[in-house]
Amino acid sequence: MKRIGRALYLILAFVLLYLPIVYLAYFSFSSGKDMVRFQHFSWVHYQVLWSDKELLAIFLQTIILAILSSLIATAIGTCGAWGIFRLRGYRRKTMLVLNNVLMVAPDVIIGASFLICFTALGIGLGFFSVLLSHIAFSIPIVVLMVLPRLQDLDLTLIDAAQDLGAGRGVIFNQIVLPEIMPGILSGLFMALTYSLDDFAVTFFVTGNGFKTLSVEIYSRARQGINLEINALSTVMLLVVMLLAGGYLFLTRQHELALGARS
């Protein structure tokens, strides 16, 4: 009885969780123009999407922005984590608190304060200001992903490497880096999703020239239903599912390897 109750709740929760997403995808194949009645199966919205060069360009821009900003944020954040790791006492605490400001601050505040900042610094609004913002709000999550790895790092490994004659460069490249690599990668991954997912900050700091997918969807959605957006979201859904499947596959492999060891 209890088991059935649990299973029912689980199913209900996941139906609700996925209903909007499935609903979107479903109507992307309808030949109609609204999300009320499914007319008949058609690829027409995908064809429109494919020929919508503006939207495709925005899609591309969004991806480039995400890759660029997450790579830079990962580099800066990893160095920052290393710096914080080497600090002690109140300096370390201060740095961590400042690091976390952008983690807890609401998007609107980040967007508004960045807007003031860019204006004060005389930086024009456009691709560059958006890129800077995305790097800025991705850095703290990278630090938070890398820092625990550094703290878990067994310091006697560094002693051991030194004992065996390794210099600083060798120690960093061959001992520290492999150990914290999983942290760096998850930091990069988080930065990537932060950038792809952001709407509010971009909305504040983008001028008229540059648009990301989120901003574009917002302005189209304000004008009402447009099944071209459904087609786009279905494509994105597929990509995300592939990514998730890959992630699951990789961790499964990893776990199997770990299982064999223990």
Partner 1 sequence: MRSKSSFFIIPYVLWLLLFVVMPMILLAVNAFTNGQGQVSLVNLRAFLTNGACLKMMVNSFWYAVLITGLTLLISYPLALVIAHCRHQRVWLLLVILPTWINLLLKTYAFIGLLGQHGLINQALQLIGLAPRQLLFTKTAFVIVAAYIEIPFMVLPIYNSLHALDQQIIAAARDLGASSWQTFWRVVWPLTLPGVRAGVQAVFIPSLSLFMITRLIGGNKVITLGTAIEEYFLTTMNWHMGSMIGVILIVIMVLVLLATSGKEQNK
Partner 2 sequence: MKIIELKHVTRQYPDGFTALHDLNLSLESGKFYSLLGPSGSGKTTILRLIAGFDQPTQGEILFNGRKINDLPAAQRPLNTVFQNYALFPHLNVFENIAFGLKVKKVPADQIQVKVDRMLSLVRLEGFGQRSVQELSGGQQQRVAIARALVNQPKVLLLDESLSALDKKLRKTMQFELRSIQKQLGITFIFVTHDQEEALAMSDEIFVLNEGRLQQSGSPSAIYDEPVNEFVARFIGDSNLLMGHMIRDFEVEFDNHRFECADAGIKPGEQVQVLLRPEDLSLVAPQQGKIVVEVLSQLFLGDHYEIWAKDDAGFNWLIHTVEKAPTKRCGLHFAPDAIHVMRLGESESEFDQRLSQYEDNEK
Query: 47: which 2 tokens?
Result: 């064809």
- Rule CB under 8 A: choose which of 7, 13, 60, 159 binds partner 2: 159
User: Under the criterion CB under 8 A, does residue 196 sit at the interface with partner 1?
Assistant: yes
Residue 53 or 261 having the CB closest to partner 2 = 261
Query: 29: which 2 tokens?
Result: 């194949």
Considering only the stretches 50-58, 144-152, 174-182, 197-205, report the one whose residues sit in contact with partner 1 under the rule CB under 8 A.
197-205
First to last CA, the chain: 37
Helix (H), strand (E) counts: the chain = 12, 0
User: Under the criterion CB under 8 A, does residue 176 sit at the interface with partner 1?
Assistant: no
Considering only the stretches 49-57, 145-153, 159-167, 226-234, report the one whose residues sit in contact with partner 1 under the rule CB under 8 A.
226-234
User: Under the criterion CB under 8 A, does residue 23 sit at the interface with partner 1?
Assistant: yes
Radius of gyration in angstroms for the set of CA atoms belonging to the chain, rounded to a whole number:
23
Q: How far is the CB of 23 from partner 1 (least distance, A)?
A: 6
Size of the site for partner 1 (CB under 8 A): 78
Residue 120 or 260 having the CB closest to partner 2 = 260
**Single-letter amino acid, residue 74:** T
User: Under the criterion CB under 8 A, does residue 165 sit at the interface with partner 2?
Assistant: yes
Q: How far is the CB of 178 from partner 2 (least distance, A)?
A: 4
User: Under the criterion CB under 8 A, does residue 157 sit at the interface with partner 2?
Assistant: yes
The CA distance from 19 to 21, in Å, is 5
Report yes or no: 104 and 195 within 8 Å, Cβ to Cβ: no
User: Under the criterion CB under 8 A, does residue 59 sit at the interface with partner 1?
Assistant: no
Q: For residue 232, give the 3-state DSSP assignment.
A: helix
Which stretches within 52-154 are classed as H helix? 53-86, 89-104, 107-121, 127-152
Q: Interface residues for partner 2 in 173-192 (CB under 8 A)?
A: 175, 178-179
Nearest to 186 by CA among 26, 67, 74, 35: 74
User: Under the criterion CB under 8 A, does residue 185 sit at the interface with partner 1?
Assistant: no
The residue to which tokens 């505040």 are assigned: 109
Considering only the stretches 52-60, 96-104, 149-157, 173-181, report the one whose residues sit in contact with partner 1 under the rule CB under 8 A.
96-104
User: Under the criterion CB under 8 A, does residue 162 sit at the interface with partner 1?
Assistant: no
Tell me whether residue 13 is exposed, middle or buried, using C-beta atoms within 10 angstroms of its C-beta: 0 to 12, 13 to 18, 19 or more.
Answer: exposed
Q: Which residues of this protein are in contact with partner 2, per CB under 8 A?
A: 154, 156-157, 159-167, 170, 175, 178-179, 260-261
